[in-house]
Amino acid sequence: MQNFKRLIWGFAISVLFIACGKQGVQKISDKGEFSGKFGISADHVDMLIGETQELIIRNGSGDYEVTDDFPGKFVTLDVTKSKIKITPVSEGETTIIIIDCKRKAAGLSDVVARLTIKVVKGEDPLPEGVIVKDGVLVSWPDNAIPENGEVVLHSSIKAIGEAAFRQCGRLRKVTLHAAVKSIGKEAFRECGALQEVIMNEGLESIGEMAFENCQSLVKVNIPASVQIIEPTVFSQCVNLAEVSLADGLKFIGERMFADCDALESIKLPSSIEKIGEAAFVNCGYLGEMIIPEKVTEILRDTFSGCSALMNVTLPSNLTHIGMDAFNNCVFLKKIDLPESLTNLEGCFAGCSAMTEITIPKEIEELYANLFANCSKLKTVKFNKKLKKIGIKSFKNCSSLESIEIPEGVVVLNNYAFQNCYSLNKVILPSTVKDMKLLCFVNCNALKEVYCKALEVPEAKYPFKNTPKGKVLYVPSGAKSRYEKAWGDAGFSRIVENL
């Protein structure tokens, strides 16, 4: 193609050489001397329809032959001795060739100048009713949205203000100009027909609730330039299925993707350092999550209600998992907790598919409701530093058959093992001192209890509603103390053999 263009230009120049001084080609004559190299101040220009541009003709004689690949179709020309004025007519590209006939007649070699002109459509004027102040888009009313539902922001707009497009029901697509630096709070909130947002590289921040409840939005690509994403940005975007986050982003805002029911997967960039509370709460189809290594905390409700979540990879330096973080992830069968963890709040309640768990070595307390309603949990591997088991930590773990509380545990809190209907064997450590209200209430399969504590732990009805034929095993010399303290707990026998 390039060789073909050279051939055409060569042919055009040959014709012009022949045509110098003849009719059929525009001729501009002006007497005067010439010196120096002949040329134009640019060999390529890009222009918008509606603007004009003047280029300087250097060292020309004023006696020119001018040709245009598409005469008058894309541009009109006004040529004088020292200038060429260009006025765009329509979108397209053309090549202009100028030959200086006097220089040619004088036998000079630099007699030809070539100029390529590309014309593109300029920005449409802002519709009536649109308000822009100091580069901030204040308001774009719904009745100012074009019929096709598409808005392309002007270069004059540097920021999208608070609620600028809120509840614009006709808006289907918006393209941000490269000049836009920020999207304000609630800027596109409840734009129910909005399907696509093309964000510009150079965008730096997205405000709180900017796209909340945009129920037709299906795809989002957040550019690398974005450093700040405020809370609840895409909350309730129920059809949002594809999200691209560029490396460099450090924070996922609070409730950023809450209730995004169609979101099945998302790749978090390695640069992420913090994930806000409830960031993915109730993402019902999210099946897998790999949490980047720089994240050290998983906060409250982060993945709560992600009912399809089956595979989770946690970072090796994680120290804290907050309350309800994985609650009701009903397909989560297993999760490997890193040894770096020092704090586990009630974060796995309702994970009804979970079958086993290993408590990391640095954990000292199991918080309230930690594994409550994990109905298939059969195996719990405790650590050696554990001191306290919290309220209802294992409530309704109906598949749990036996449990050995490790040495070092001092307190079993209220209802710790309530309704563990398959639990038939319990081993309590010598360190246990306090068994709060109804620790093993309704464990109606219980047959054997081994308590290694020489002194009877304080207890408030720990074995209420358990079988009366169960046997209690205690240390030598402690039988009488247990008979006095737990004589009404329904043990058929108390045996000294520990």
pLDDT digits (tens, 9 = 90+) for 210-257: 999 999 999 999 999 998 899 999 999 999 999 999 999 999 999 999
pLDDT at 2: 44
Rounded alpha-carbon distances, angstroms, from residue 415 to 377, 390, 393, 420 = 17, 9, 8, 10
pTM, rounded to two decimals:
0.76
pLDDT higher than threshold 90 for residue 189: yes
3-state secondary structure 4-35: HHHHHHHHHHHHHHHHCCCCCCEEECCCCCCC
pLDDT digits (tens, 9 = 90+) for 37-80: 899 989 998 888 878 899 999 998 889 999 999 999 999 999 99
Cβ-contact 245, 222 below 8 angstroms: yes
Nearest to 408 by CA among 445, 363, 357, 350: 363
Average pLDDT over residues 454-469: 95
pLDDT at 16: 46
Rounded alpha-carbon distances, angstroms, from residue 183 to 51, 189, 199, 297 = 30, 11, 10, 28
Q: What is the DSSP string of 447-487?
A: -EEEE--SSPPEEESTTTTS-TTEEEEE-TT-HHHHHHHHT
For 171-321, list the strands marked E by DSSP: 173-175, 182-183, 196-198, 205-206, 219-222, 228-229, 242-245, 251-252, 274-275, 288-290, 297-298, 311-313, 320-321
Average pLDDT, the chain: 92
pLDDT at 22: 46
Rounded alpha-carbon distances, angstroms, from residue 124 to 311, 326, 404, 444 = 50, 50, 75, 77
pLDDT at 396: 98
Cβ-contact 341, 361 below 8 angstroms: no
Nearest to 292 by CA among 263, 319, 321, 269: 269
**Alpha-carbon radius of gyration of the chain:** 39
Residue with tokens 């070595």: 361
Average pLDDT over residues 331-341: 97
In three-state secondary structure terms, 105 is: helix
pLDDT at 12: 47
pLDDT at 187: 98
Instruction: Give the span between the Cα atoms of 253 and 208, in whole angstroms.
Output: 9
pLDDT digits (tens, 9 = 90+) for 273-324: 999 999 999 999 999 999 999 999 999 999 999 999 999 999 999 999 999 9
pLDDT higher than threshold 90 for residue 25: no
pLDDT higher than threshold 50 for residue 9: no
Instruction: Give the span between the Cα atoms of 476 and 478, in whole angstroms.
Output: 6
